[in-house]
Amino acid sequence: VLTVSADKTAKVWDISEDGSGKLKKTLTCSGSGGVDDMLVGCLWQNDHLVTVSLGGTINIFSASNLEKSPLQLSGHMKNITSLAVLKSDPKCILSSSYDGLIVKWVQGLGYSGKLQRKENSQIKCFAAAEEEIVTSGFDNKIWRISLHGDQCGDGDSVDIGSQPKDLSLAPLSPELALVTTDSGVVMLRCTKVVSTINLGFAVTASVVAPDGSEAIVGGQDGKLHVFCIVGDTLKEEAVLEKHRGAITVIRYSPDFSMFASGDANREAIVWDRVSREVKLKNMLYHTARINCLAWSPNNSMVATGSLDTCVIIYEVDKPASSRMTIKGAHLGGVYALAFTDEHSVVSSGEDACVRVWKLTPQ
């Protein structure tokens, strides 16, 4: 018989003819030692002894070899709000949920461990650069934490004075971060606030160019404001008006030649960055707010994820009507998207799952 307990151990018992039990082996699982490691369920399936902890970790032991280390499977228990694919290793995916958990996944292998931060605060916004993750919580603080393989190093934080709504890093100059607040943006270099700019309109989304030379800020009114970054200030260069709902997400293409934006009125638009003309329009195939979007590494495709549970992939050089649709990708809505290569898109959502989709050209 296999039993589990809130004392964080599993026990295997030999049952004799008279009904008495003798302890054969105590199985312990590695963990943080906290409440989450209390065991709440178990199953004996052929040679597999399976235990489930309160924190959602599944351990699989071998019944024929109780000394063998268990296979550990885990993941998120809450809505996954952000995904990041590491440039140095595109098969490595980081996902974060608002309860503060960051999980590392390897495409083709699956779960690869949790990133243990020294400050385990809640996460509202999340971004990853090379060997560094940047997070913001509900305490007005932005954290920069160094990343060494699967381990988080020391973190520095800065209080920006108001609630961060969006967070964008410049991949080619990662010390620069643009943080969106209700009324404007805050520019950070490393963990130093270099400017707090009140833009005079309700800000809902923003993005900073890969080389840190430009920023685009979206408003509640559906307008996109394009700014040139001069030193530590923003200089407005253009206002683009095509959206009919609050801007929810803006992303540059990897080669910096285009950008795409999505709104709360279910529409996405691809723009040419230099001419600022619309490059792909009529991307109106969602039935609810667009939450996230991502570019393919070769700049040929844009994927959008929505509250309507679907992911839609558009090819930039083809009409929007020749789209690929993944229906019911995540129950409750899709909240984060990323490409790992030209044919693989990763999505996450309200159902606390991360899924990898293989795209087959139409």
Q: Does some domain include residue 132? A: yes
Q: Does some domain include residue 301? A: no
**Whether residue 155 sits in one domain with residue 81:** yes
The whole domain housing 144 covers 75-159
Q: Does some domain include residue 324? A: no
Structural domains counted in the chain: 2
Of the pLDDT bands very low, low, confident and very high (cuts 50, 70, 90), residue 79 is: very high
Per-position b or e across 231-249, b if 16+ CB within 10 A of its CB: eeebeeeeebeebebbbbb
**Whether residue 80 sits in one domain with residue 62:** no
**Whether residue 155 sits in one domain with residue 79:** yes
Question: For residue range 204-245, what is the model confidence (pLDDT) as tens digits?
Answer: 999 999 999 999 999 999 999 999 999 999 999 999 999 999
Q: What is the pLDDT, as a whole number, of residue 354? A: 96
Q: Does some domain include residue 180? A: no
Q: Which of 27, 54, 73 is the last residue in one of the domains?
A: 73
The pair phi, psi for residue 58, each rounded to 5°, is -105, 125
Distance in angstroms (rounded) separating the CA atoms of residues 229 and 177 = 12
**Whether residue 154 sits in one domain with residue 87:** yes
The CATH code of the domain that includes 97 is 2.40.10.480
Q: Does some domain include residue 114? A: yes
**Whether residue 98 sits in one domain with residue 61:** no
Q: What is the pLDDT, as a whole number, of residue 362? A: 62
Q: What percent of the chain lies above the pLDDT cut of 90?
A: 78
Mean pLDDT of 146-153: 82
Distance in angstroms (rounded) separating the CA atoms of residues 3 and 101 = 28
Q: What is the pLDDT, as a whole number, of residue 85? A: 92
Q: Does some domain include residue 104? A: yes
Q: Does some domain include residue 250? A: no
**Whether residue 80 sits in one domain with residue 55:** no
**Whether residue 149 sits in one domain with residue 135:** yes
Please say whether the beta carbons of 95 and 101 come within 8 A: no
Question: For residue range 28-58, what is the model confidence (pLDDT) as tens digits?
Answer: 987 777 898 999 999 999 999 999 999 889 9
Distance in angstroms (rounded) separating the CA atoms of residues 72 and 61 = 9
Q: Is the pLDDT of residue 141 over 80?
A: yes
**Whether residue 148 sits in one domain with residue 121:** yes
Q: Does some domain include residue 310? A: no
- Here the tokens at position 209 are 């160019």
**Whether residue 83 sits in one domain with residue 65:** no
Q: Which of 131, 159, 187 is the last residue in one of the domains?
A: 159
Of the pLDDT bands very low, low, confident and very high (cuts 50, 70, 90), residue 138 is: confident
Q: Which of 73, 99, 130 is the last residue in one of the domains?
A: 73
**Whether residue 66 sits in one domain with residue 104:** no
Question: For residue range 308-362, what is the model confidence (pLDDT) as tens digits?
Answer: 999 999 999 999 999 999 999 999 999 999 999 999 999 999 999 999 999 987 6
For 18, 35, 122, 267, the CA distances from 144, given in Å and listed in that order, are 61, 27, 14, 33
Residues 6+ apart with CB under 8 A from 96: 80, 81, 82, 102, 103, 123, 126, 135
**Whether residue 25 sits in one domain with residue 97:** no
Q: What is the pLDDT, as a whole number, of residue 113? A: 87
Query: Which has the minimum average pLDDT: 117-121, 124-128, 177-181, 292-296?
Result: 117-121
Q: Is the pLDDT of residue 114 over 90?
A: no
**Whether residue 59 sits in one domain with residue 110:** no
Q: What is the pLDDT, as a whole number, of residue 137? A: 85
Q: What is the pLDDT, as a whole number, of residue 349? A: 95
